[in-house]
Structure formats: structure tokens, C-alpha cells
A = this chain, B = another copy of it.
Amino acid sequence: MPRIVDHEERRAEVAAAVWRIVSRDGLEAATVRRVAAETGMSTSVVSHYFAGKDDLLRLAFRIVVDRGRDRAIADSAGGGRTRALLVTALPVDTERRAEARVWFAFLGLAVSRPDLARDQRRAYTAWRRAVAAALRAEGLPEGRDAQTEAAGLIALVDGLTVQATFAPDRMTAARQLALLDERLAELGVG
């Protein structure tokens, strides 16, 4: 009986290897050859899962989005879902700083690539809706629109990420959280 290859499992294995390389050695280090070495697969098998640099970046972006979402779900188990959905994207530790670098590299490419821009838009729409739903559940002040405030909160988180990535000594984890919490307090949530 021929061995049946579980493509989903292999894809996950490739994705995990991509992530290990990216978080350890940076995005530049994640090549088909390195992923092959890391997984023990041949380069031709790895190439089946991503064809080149762009595919890899897309995969890495996907991983970042999934990790963020999983973390938010886990962290909001005890309440404070709005805050959890936002904090998850802040680069407050080494792992999340690696995620932020992937996110920037992806955005930089996506500005001239409509297909990647679509991925970006989809991820943001899902994020905004989740934050808006959480805001509604936690109760917004009269006259505030949940979708608009969600967009504003996500904007703040993204901008803090820019500063934390390029000036981590100045935009420390404590400062990121203080600025986010100040804003959440003004909206009466968090």
C-alpha cells in the first residue's frame, strides 16, 4: 500500500519550520534550502508548499495572524476580550517583535502587490470585526460607533508597533501597554 502523504500535516510542519527560522534568524534567512534542512524534507518537497520568497512571506504573515488570534482567544478566557484582541499584536517580547518584523516586511511588499494587499485587508477586516464585537459586548459610551472605535484602536496598536520595532528602548512594553490602556479607559472598556 503506498504511503498516503498528509498534505495538511506537512504544510503545518513547513510553516512551523519557517516560523522557527524567521524568529531565530530573521526573514532573510528563511529560504527553501533552509526550510528543507530544518524539516529534513527535500527542497523539491518544500517547494511544493511555497514556490519562492513571496509565498514564504505570505505563509509567514498567515502564521503571524493565526498566532495573534490564538493568543487573543487564550488571553480573553478570563474576560477583557477587547484588550486581549489588541494586546496580542503589540511587540512586547522577543517572539512578538519577530512577528512585527514579518508584518512590516509583508506590508512593504503588499503596497505594490494587489494579491498580498487582499490578504492584508482580509486579516484586518476580521480583526476589526472581532474588536468591534468585543467593544459592543463590553459596552461603549453613548454615541460611539463600535466599528469606528475598533479601527481607531487597531490604528493605535499598529502605530505603537512601528515605534516598538524601530526604537524598542524608547517604546518599551510598559509604555505600549500604558498608551493602549489610557485609550481603553477613555472608551470605558478594558
Known A-B contacts A182-B152, A186-B186; the reply to A163 vs B108 at CB < 8 A is: no
Q: Which residues of B contact A178 (CB under 8 A)?
A: 148
Query: Which of A6-14, A45-53, A110-118 is near enough to bind chain B?
Result: A110-118
B105 with A101: CB separation less than 8 A = no
B179 with A151: CB separation less than 8 A = yes
A151 with B171: CB separation less than 8 A = yes
Copies of this chain in its oligomeric complex: 2
Q: Which residues of B contact A111 (CB under 8 A)?
A: 27, 101, 104-105, 165
Docked pose: A104 CA to B111 CA in angstroms: 7
A159 with B163: CB separation less than 8 A = no
In the assembled complex, the CB of A109 is this many whole angstroms from the nearest CB of chain B, namely: 6
Closest B residue, CB atoms, query A105: B108
Q: Is A162 an interface residue (CB 8 A)?
A: yes
In the assembled complex, the CB of A119 is this many whole angstroms from the nearest CB of chain B, namely: 10
Docked pose: A179 CA to B183 CA in angstroms: 12
Of residues 65 to 81 in A, which have CB atoms within 8 Å of B's CB atoms? none
Q: Which residues of B contact A155 (CB under 8 A)?
A: 155-156, 158-160, 162-163, 179
Q: Is A19 an interface residue (CB 8 A)?
A: no
B27 with A112: CB separation less than 8 A = yes
Closest B residue, CB atoms, query A164: B155
Q: Is A3 an interface residue (CB 8 A)?
A: no
Docked pose: A121 CA to B163 CA in angstroms: 8
Docked pose: A165 CA to B178 CA in angstroms: 27
A interface residue numbers (CB < 8 A to B): 26-28, 101, 104-112, 117, 120-121, 124-125, 148, 151-152, 154-160, 162-163, 165-167, 170-171, 175, 178-179, 182-183, 186
Give 4 nearest A-B pairs by CB, closest first.
A108-B108, A155-B159, A158-B159, A159-B159
